[in-house]
Amino acid sequence: MSYMNELTELCGRLGCRITPECSLSEYITFKFGGPCRALVSINSAQSAAELLKYLRSEGIKYGIIGRGSNIIALDEGFDGVVLMFGGDFAKIETEGTILKCEAGALLAAACVNAQQNSLTGMENLFGIPGTVGGALYMNAGAYGSEMADIVVSAEYLDENCNIRTIDKDEMQLSYRHSIFSENKGIILSVTMQLAEGSGDEISAAMRECMGKRSSKQPLDYPSAGSIFKRPEGSYASLLVEQCGLKGMTCGGAMVSEKHSGFVINKGYATCSDVLELCDKVKAIVKEKTGYALELEPVILK
């Protein structure tokens, strides 16, 4: 590609790792997907701003991923540059009862950090895969808790690549939704307000939470987590199970027999397999129950 030399030079100046023609299957938890033109690992807010300015000014298509846990990558890949907010941009800082995390920090690592500092409020989020930035983007939650309960503010890149701060009351947080999905803002860091607690009690609650996940969810297979959003008035997994769709397959994709809210990769699934299976499930659920299911993961396209 004509821009690759310039992009490589820019990444070198910024100290960001760049991998040309990178297979996305290595970077998403579903473990499938074709190549992108280049994958760039973000290492700072300033690097993210400069890279976004360059890509936008040159009209280069780009996508954003964290640790790939809520992403579906197409079989043909992504005809552009993927910016990864991952391990190179994952600092976690604690000051009193405040926890500040760079966007690429694993949510699980933030939970562990909180426990180590005897801070309570994140126990039910332990075990949710992905990054803190991704968790805020979709207002992730489990077992009655969600990011909206603890977030105070966030730093993000606006449409003009300026670094801005936004308070919680401006984030429009609701079920699996935030303003960032609408204003094209790219989350850089998240600040959370926790409370003082007992490290031992927090640890016990985290173990209990992880035990629930292990017993109920198909964690031994690649997936994107819950495949459908919860429809108002019911639960996706309940509807799928009521329709007798547990174990339904398309190629290497299967509705989990352990948890009907998951579609898993049996080891050889393609993106086409997963999307075809999801379309069939949605059609059957709609026909039999009247509920319209919506995909929860983001399709990178």
pLDDT digit string (tens) for 66-84?
Answer: 999 999 999 999 999 999 9
- Tell me the average pLDDT across 168-180: 94
Alpha-carbon gap, residue 3 to 58, rounded angstroms: 8
Alpha-carbon gap, residue 11 to 5, rounded angstroms: 10
Among 42, 28, 25, which residue's Cα sits nearest to residue 297?
28
pTM above 0.85, yes or no: yes
How far is C-alpha 280 from the chain's CA centre?
A: 24
* One-letter amino acid for residue 204 of the chain: A
CB 90 within 8 A of CB 109: yes
Catalytic residue check, 102: no
Please tell me which residue in 69, 189, 223, 226 is annotated as part of the active site.
226
Please tell me which residue in 102, 123, 155, 296 is annotated as part of the active site.
296
Alpha-carbon gap, residue 16 to 9, rounded angstroms: 10
DSSP one-letter string for 117-154: TTEES-GGGTT--SBHHHHHHTT-EETTEEGGGTEEEE
- Tell me the average pLDDT across 151-171: 96
Better-scored residue on pLDDT, 144 or 90 = 90
- Tell me the average pLDDT across 165-170: 97
Please tell me which residue in 176, 223, 237, 260 is annotated as part of the active site.
176
Among 183, 176, 123, which residue's Cα sits nearest to residue 150?
123
CB 226 within 8 A of CB 247: no
Alpha-carbon gap, residue 224 to 207, rounded angstroms: 22
- Tell me the average pLDDT across 195-214: 94
How far is C-alpha 56 from the chain's CA centre?
A: 23
Alpha-carbon gap, residue 54 to 121, rounded angstroms: 39
Catalytic residue check, 58: no
- Tell me the average pLDDT across 165-181: 94
Amino acid 1: pLDDT: 58
pLDDT band at residue 8, thresholds of 50, 70 and 90? very high
Amino acid 144: pLDDT: 87
**Assigned token pair, 13:** 């100046």
CA 100 to each of CA 16, 41, 213, 250: distance values in angstroms, whole numbers, following the listed order: 22, 20, 26, 42
Catalytic residue check, 213: no
